[in-house]
Amino acid sequence: MNSFKKAVITGATSGIGFALARALASSGREVLAIGRNAEQLALLAKEPAITTLCADIRENEEIIPDILAFSPDILVNNAGVGHGIDGLDNLPLHLIQEAIDINITAPITLTAALMEHMKTQERGHIVNIGSIAGLHNLYSALYGATKSAIHLFSQNLRTELSGSAVRVTEICPGRVSTGFFQAASGNQERLDNLSRSGIAELTPEDIANAVLYALNAPMHVNVATIEILPVQQAVGGMKLSASD
């Protein structure tokens, strides 16, 4: 294993984040798991290598001192919301702002707070959980915009950090079997329809394994972007029938 030992994970109380916390702890790393669900955090806290912090990542002035005190060399920006994943029409303005705050502002703010620390200790790995919605035209203007922002943030951050010992990885999943659509805000009927993909979806553990692959790469290797989809899912193309 390389020298990355202490990981902060946001959105650790469900889905991908929960699987990530357990996988990183099982890999011999210390984990600070951050989330808003105290009940789920209590489950993670039963594992000896996991410390928990029940907090809203938008409250950065409150949580950044705790994160810096943990002295991490890994930051996994995983927390996110799917508001408007079914479309932008009639979405309340406060939910639009919440999507921007959680999906864009919070990861950028946390990254900025940790960059100097990572550069000073001459090691660090920033992992951003993006989405194929940030790489391809799909069906959500708002969600796609937030994940596209994370994509270009990751790309440009890698350029900013060039020459340092800090690596940047973006993981871009397709369909993952989580409660993502159920937790999103929008038209419930459309969200229910979107939640039924009818295919063998990725699992949160699949994404955790992709993160571990990037973290475990030799120190001179930066796994820049991983686009990971179920076998039955393809994006970025179009099929036309004779009747179209």
pLDDT of residue 36 exceeding 70: yes
Q: Which residue has the tokens 């973006």?
A: 170
Indicate the length of the chain as a whole number. Answer: 244
Note whether residue 233 is domain-resident.
no
CA separation, residue 9 to residues 2, 64, 243 (Å): 19, 13, 49
Note whether residue 243 is domain-resident.
no
Confidence of residue 192 (pLDDT cuts 50, 70, 90): confident
Lowest-confidence range among 2-16, 42-56, 74-88, 179-193?
179-193
Note whether residue 224 is domain-resident.
yes
Note whether residue 242 is domain-resident.
no
CA of residue 195 relative to chain centroid, distance: 19
Based on the structure, what is the number of domains in the chain? Answer: 1
Q: What is the pLDDT of residue 4?
A: 81
- The DSSP string of 181-214 is HHHS-S-HHHHHHHH---S--B-HHHHHHHHHHH
* pTM as predicted: 0.93
pLDDT of residue 3 exceeding 80: no
Lowest-confidence range among 44-53, 186-195, 206-215?
186-195
CA of residue 6 relative to chain centroid, distance: 17
Residues in a beta bridge with 51? 32
Tens digits of residue pLDDT in 112-130:
999 999 999 999 999 999 9
Tens digits of residue pLDDT in 60-108:
889 999 999 999 999 999 999 999 888 898 899 999 999 999 999 999 9
Q: What is the pLDDT of residue 190?
A: 76
Domain that holds residue 189: 6-228
Average pLDDT in the chain: 92
CA-CA distance, 154 to 199, in Å (whole number)?
A: 30
Q: What is the CATH number of the domain that holds 221?
A: 3.40.50.720
Number of H helices, E strands in the chain: 9, 7
Mean pLDDT across 142-171? 97
- Residue 118: CB partners within 8 Å, gap ≥ 6? 73, 124, 126, 164, 165, 166
pLDDT of residue 244 exceeding 60: no
Note whether residue 173 is domain-resident.
yes
Q: What is the pLDDT of residue 240?
A: 60
154 versus 86: the higher-pLDDT residue is 154
Listed in sequence order, the DSSP H helices in the chain are 15-26, 38-45, 60-70, 93-100, 106-120, 141-160, 180-183, 188-195, 204-215
Residues tagged active-site: 143
The single-letter DSSP state of residue 178 is S
